């Protein structure tokens, strides 16, 4: 169906954004996607394990308008729900993540 297809596409796009930023900033902030990469195993949710100052990064990106969820001890959860999340929203998350990383102490 169209909703399932958009779910897979938008979640894959967000995965690409996260991977790109992780590669670009690996010397400044260490994080990894811990959600299964197989779209059949993950649905519309991605979890990022942040090493170090995860809660501070989470607070910075939320202050920039990102809607995410924090799970102790060090996981940021995102849910690009296909009915109301746009590709632009995913791009905005990427921008916020880069700003959050670049303003870390």
pLDDT in tens, 1-57: 799 999 999 999 999 999 999 999 888 888 899 999 998 898 889 999 999 889 999
User: What is the rounded distance in angstroms from the CA atom of residue 49 to the CA atom of residue 27?
Assistant: 16
String of b and e for 16-40 (b: at least 16 CB within 10 Å)? ebbeebbeebeeebebebebeeeee
Q: What is the pLDDT of residue 81?
A: 92
Q: Which fold has domain 2-102?
A: 3.90.1150
User: What is the rounded distance in angstroms from the CA atom of residue 92 to the CA atom of residue 102?
Assistant: 15
Summarised one tens digit per residue, pLDDT across range 57-66 is 999 999 999 9
Summarised one tens digit per residue, pLDDT across range 1-10 is 799 999 999 9
Joined tokens for residue 97: 């993540």
Q: What is the pLDDT of residue 103?
A: 87
- Could you state, in order of their start, the residue ranges of all structural domains in the chain? 2-102
């Amino acid at each position: 169906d169209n909703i399932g297809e958009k779910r897979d596409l938008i979640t894959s796009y967000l995965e690409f954004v996260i991977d790109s930023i992780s590669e670009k900033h690996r010397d400044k902030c260490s994080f990894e996607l811990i959600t299964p990469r197989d779209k059949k195993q993950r649905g519309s949710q991605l979890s990022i394990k942040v090493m170090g100052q995860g809660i501070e990064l989470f607070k910075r990106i939320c202050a920039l308008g990102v809607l995410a969820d924090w799970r102790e001890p060090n996981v940021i959860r995102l849910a690009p729900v296909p009915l109301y999340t746009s590709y632009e929203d995913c791009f905005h998350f990427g921008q916020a993540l880069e700003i959050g990383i670049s303003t870390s102490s």
